Amino acid sequence: MTFSFSLHGIGVSQGVAIGRAHLVSHAMLEVSHYMIEPGQEQAEIHRLERAVQEVRYELKVLRAEMAAEDRFGEMEAFIDVHETLLNDEILTDNVKTYIAERGCNAEWALVQQLDTWVAQFEKFEDPYLRERKFDVMQIVERIVKRLMGRPGALPKSDDEAHMILVAHDLSPADLLQFKHHHFAAFVTDLGGATSHTAIVARGLGIPALVGARHARQLLRDGELVIVDGACGTVIVNPDHAILSEYRKLQQAQEARQEALKTLKRRRPRTRDGIEVSLLANIESSDDLDKVRASGAQGIGLFRSEFLYLNQETLPDEDMQFEAYRCVVEGMEGRPVTLRTLDLGSDKIRGGINSLARVAPNPAMGLRAIRLCFAEQPLFMTQLRAILRASAYGKIKMLVPMLSGGDEIRPLLAAVEEAKRRLDEEGVAFDRALEIGAMIEVPSAALTLGSFLKQLDFLSIGTNDLTQYLLAVDRTDEAVSHLYNPTHPAMLRLLSHILKRANQAEVPISLCGEMADDPKMTWLLLGLGLRQFSMPAAGLLAIKERVLSANVGVLQKAVARIVRVEEPEKIKALIEKLNRG
Ligand code: PEP
Ligand code: MG
């Protein structure tokens, strides 16, 4: 008997996906810990052995299926490693000791032993051996799932396209790993609309929902699920009528995506002849295909810190240089705005341990440029890599989280020092490399003069600007109802920033998620914005809005909206504006 029910969260990436739930297990969080009855030790050990046996069988079946379908490849190596681990007596010996001597239940014993293994693997010098800890984690997770009566379906690549990832939480680093798979959608219990996890999902162009609270607990592996990213709804075990409605909706959306493709080569110009630049946000060179398919005029934001995630050690200068060069060459002459390291609150989770210090309030702590000033060698390495790559195409350097003009001088001094060292070594770089600042801290927005005087360009980071101006943590779903980029205070600040920059004729873009929302395009055009940067997946929908805009009319209407003080009234006025 299956029950149909729905869950609600925050839709962070639009579209409809229909597929089977694939629960991302956090075995550590979920296993029950209890002492078994004295005398039951052997029975508990048998329970463990049975689960191990079942997992062995699971892998055997998978191997046979893959062989029959001639789909071996990376998967074979993966199954080999897992089978070897399972057959290793050492894997289970210590666990059995925990059960026999300490009376722990089998799941608890496994998880305790996992901690020891992970610590041992992390000590290996050889990166390949260190990586094997993930195999041990996965295999333990599979045994735990068996013990808990919830066997895990190991995704086969063909199935992934119809698989909906359901997790308690996913870090941006987790999501980057999923980039190489092709899931249909994802749902998490935690997270806010502009958390980096949500941003990566939008970049993937798949429907996504965060803040769904108990989804991970309520859903079962393999259940049929509809994810509606626009409404922020998950429907579990839908009945026939609902399913068929959503299939129609899905087809309509696919048709719309196809229609939008015809705009790829259209110049983004408004009806009254105002030229607009539409740029893309990327996290790595993996995103370049999507950028090219979107017809973006350049990269408006390359979040370089993603190179640092999922790494045990910091990427060295050569590795960074290669990554930047690959992007700049891939853009074939179009500009690449490369942001210096913005490691911060919601990005670091483990990984580069030395930097992952636990800050009392990480969003306001030692992040981004603050971390770079505090760790000069780290910053110098990146500056050198950026400068070296600038010899291979048009790079502009963007600096995050500057909070006032007094930080500009040390910034420029660090760049000069990097240039001096490269000169000494006879290494080529672009001498006219432009340097710009993210305007994302209210204090920077309110003291814009020094930025306009000393820097070449600006980019507004509305994700953080909203968070800091309204004092609403962008990653916390508990306060997501207060996170409002069209709050009257935000509109006034945006209007101020754009007016000042436009008067000073300093190029300014907006690269926060607001630029990716077609409902915001006319508002932003009316406020004076001419450069938008967003995930490539959303670019053509924004172009459609630009092509149908009349800036002269919008400016007048938006000037009136900026004077309004009630958030609800502003919402209504923006809706009216969008109706034309
Ligand atoms: C922003 O803050 O708006 C921004 C674009 O940067 P990030 O989302 O990476 O903090
Ligand atoms: Mg930011």
Residue 216 contacts by C-beta under 8 Å, 6 or more apart in sequence?
A: 23, 24, 166, 167, 168, 188, 189
Are 427 and 421 contacting, i.e. CB atoms less than 8 angstroms apart? no
| Residue 204 in this model has a pLDDT that exceeds 90 | no
The first and second tokens of residue 24, run together, are 């991302």
441 C-beta closer than 6 A to ligand 1 = no
For the Cβ of 485 lying below 6 angstroms from any atom of ligand 1, the answer is no
Q: In the prediction, which pLDDT does 125 show? A: 76
% of the chain at pLDDT higher than 90:
61
Contact 370, 344 (CB under 8 A): no
203 CB near ligand 1 (under 6 Å) = no
CB 578 within 8 A of CB 522: yes
Average pLDDT over residues 427-449: 98
pLDDT at residue 353, as a whole number? 45
- Our measurement of the distance from residue 233's CA atom to the centroid of its chain's CA atoms, rounded to an integer in Å, reads 20
pLDDT at 183: 82
Distances (CA, A) of 399 to 74, 250, 382, 383: 39, 40, 12, 11
User: Tell me, what's the pLDDT at 559?
Assistant: 98
Cβ(336)–Cβ(298) below 8 Å: yes
Q: Is 191 in the pocket of ligand 1 (CB under 6 A)?
A: no
Q: Using 50, 70 and 90 to split pLDDT, how confident is the model at 195?
A: confident
440 in contact with ligand 1, CB cutoff 6 A: yes
Percent of the chain with pLDDT over 70: 88
The angle subtended at Cα 527 by Cα 525 and Cα 531, nearest 5°, is 50
- Indicate if the pLDDT at residue 357 is higher than 60: no
- Amino acid identity, position 490: M
**pLDDT per residue over 250-288, tens digit each?**
999 999 999 999 999 999 999 999 999 999 999 989 899
Q: Is 359 helix (H, G, I), strand (E, B) or coil?
A: coil
- In this predicted structure, what is the pLDDT of residue 104? 87
pLDDT in tens, 474-522: 988 899 999 999 999 999 999 999 999 999 999 999 999 999 999 999 9
> How far is residue 155's CA from residue 144's CA, in Å, rounded to a whole number?
17
**In this structure, what DSSP letter does residue 104 have?**
B
Rounded to whole angstroms, how far apart are CA atoms 324 and 302? 9
3-state DSSP assignment of residue 480? helix
Lowest mean pLDDT among 79-93, 502-516, 562-576: 79-93
The overall average pLDDT reported for the chain is 88
Spatial strand order in the sheet of 185-188: 5-8, 233-236, 224-228, 16-23, 163-167, 185-188, 208-210, 10-13
Mean pLDDT in residue range 308-316: 74
Residue found by looking up tokens 């060295």 in the block: 316
Exactly one of 22, 104, 372, 511 is catalytic; which is it? Answer: 511
Is 372 labeled as catalytic in the residue annotation?
no
* Backbone torsions φ then ψ of 235, nearest 5 degrees: -110, 120
Query: Is the beta carbon of 345 within 6 A of some atom in ligand 1?
Result: no
What's the confidence (pLDDT) of residue 221? Answer: 78
Minimum-distance ligand 1 atom for the alpha carbon of 303: 9
Q: Which ligand is nearest to the CA of 196?
A: 1
User: Tokens representing 216?
Assistant: 């991970």
Q: Is 326 an annotated catalytic residue?
A: no
**For residue range 127-182, what is the model confidence (pLDDT) as tens digits?**
667 667 767 777 887 788 788 765 444 444 445 567 898 888 776 666 665 666 67
pLDDT value at residue 535: 95
Q: Quick one: which ligand is closest to 343's CA?
A: 1
Determine which residue's CA is closest to atom 1 belonging to ligand 1. 461
Q: Whose CA is nearest to atom 6 of ligand 1?
A: 461
Please tell me the least confidently modeled range out of 113-127, 339-353, 471-485.
339-353
Among 194, 346, 490, the mutation site with the greatest number of ligand 1 atoms within 8 A of its Cβ is 194
**Range with the lowest mean pLDDT among 75-79, 207-211, 351-355, 374-378?**
351-355
The one catalytic residue among 196, 326, 372, 496:
196
Q: Which of 53-62, 155-164, 215-224, 474-483 has the lowest mean pLDDT?
A: 155-164
Say what the pLDDT of residue 393 is.
Answer: 97
Q: What is the pLDDT of residue 241?
A: 95
Q: How far is the C-alpha of 377 from the C-alpha of 414, rounded, in Å? A: 10
Cα–Cα distances (Å) from 421 to 388, 415, 429, 436, in that order, read 11, 10, 11, 22
Is the pLDDT score of 364 beyond 70?
yes
